[in-house]
Amino acid sequence: LQYQLNLWHTKKASFIDLSVHEDLNIPKFHSLQHYVEMIRFFGCTDNYNTEMFERLHIDFAKKGWRASNKRDEFPQMTKWLARQENVQSFNKELSWILERQRFQNSSLNSTTSSFPMDSSEASNIRLFLPKEPTAPNKTLSSIELGHRVPFFSSNLKRYLAMLKPGSNRRDVEDSLYKQLPFNHLDVYYSFKFSPETLDEDSTLMDVVKASPLKGGRFDTVVVLTGDSAEATSFSGTRIGRVKILFRLPSQLSLIGSHKGPSPTWWPSTVLAYIEWYSPPTQTLVDQSTHNMACVHKLPLIDGIVPWSIIPLSNIRQSCMLIPRHDRNSSKHTIWTSSNVLDHATHFLVNNWSSLYTYKTLYRE
């Protein structure tokens, strides 16, 4: 682009020499001088090139002029524009009411293939799960093997011990020597959700998968972890990889063949087992080139990848990680789409995969 711009500057005098135009003081030509710099700073030319002003000129001037009788046109153009704004506002309000009614009807309809779960009023995120688990009553050993989480049972013991009211660190460590009151879990391989809407876009739907089938697919997500978390930016969030989607049993095995209800403090919703990456960082070089944040795998703690078990409502959106090629990258491993997250250690958080990620995945 810079080469073509330099070529234009060397040849543009020909238009004046040949009397094609008296001068080249045209806003569009002037804006070309800033394109390369602005693309490096902001990633695209939206909202700072002449396209926006041309669009405003068409909507606010040309269309209003055409709608007038060309006599005393300014009052007519002003009234026409005000009416267009009123119609647009009414359409948006009508769409909002219809969408709200559709959501209420879907919540009451129990015959649909999916249903909203754990709806968060604060974040306006709606979750959708299959009516039946993908792998019901799956043994813990097969979960650990298929989902490649060898310490899942031990970590689940820690998690359940931490849930108990009044528990302390000693209780959590002692739980490792106790047996879980169940050997099977209902496992889901995917779920859908509608993330926080931007620009009144109510049709957005996100999908997260944690499936051991066909070599395994375990998606990466942005998780809300702090009070400063919002619908955009990395503030108050962490990047993690979803390894298991499961629901705790409502009935537990007791002495002999007897069964009893699970404790009341156990969550009844579907949970996600997350393996964490480092907090997103960004150097000045990253910011001036691709403007993508960087994460890397964390060192093992007692041979275990840092983990958490969270409700699905804590997941803000899915994200795509790009392996970072550098001198530390393994030269002996062939990366494929199915193993790159397992073998690579450093990644870039791709904020170019969609318009929504471009608006939401950035460092403040």
> pLDDT in tens for each of the 364 residues of the chain?
889 888 988 888 888 888 888 888 887 778 888 888 888 887 777 666 777 778 888 888 999 999 999 888 999 999 999 999 999 888 888 887 877 666 555 444 433 333 334 434 445 678 899 989 999 999 999 999 999 999 999 999 999 999 888 888 888 888 888 888 899 999 999 999 988 877 665 568 899 999 999 888 999 999 998 777 788 888 889 999 999 999 999 888 766 566 788 888 999 999 999 999 999 998 888 888 888 999 999 988 888 899 999 999 999 999 999 998 766 565 656 788 888 898 889 999 999 888 888 888 887 7
Would you say residue 306 lies in a domain? yes
Would you say residue 154 lies in a domain? no
pLDDT of residue 116: 37
- Model pTM? 0.65
Would you say residue 325 lies in a domain? yes
Query: Please, are residues 247 and 290 in contact by the beta-carbon 8 Å criterion?
Result: no
pLDDT of residue 289: 83
* CA 268 to chain CA mean position, Å: 25
Would you say residue 50 lies in a domain? no
d(CA 319, CA 222): 7
Would you say residue 109 lies in a domain? no
Torsion angle (degrees, nearest 10) of CA 133, 139, 140, 142? -100
DSSP string, 256-315: TT-EEEPPTTS--S-EEEEEEBPPPB--HHHHHHT---EEEBPPPBTTB--EEEEEGGGE
Would you say residue 63 lies in a domain? no
Would you say residue 286 lies in a domain? yes
- In the chain, the number of structural domains is 1
Residue type, 177: Y
Would you say residue 3 lies in a domain? no
Q: Which domain holds residue 332?
A: 115-148+183-360
Q: Are strands 206-211 and 190-194 parallel, antiparallel or unpaired?
A: antiparallel
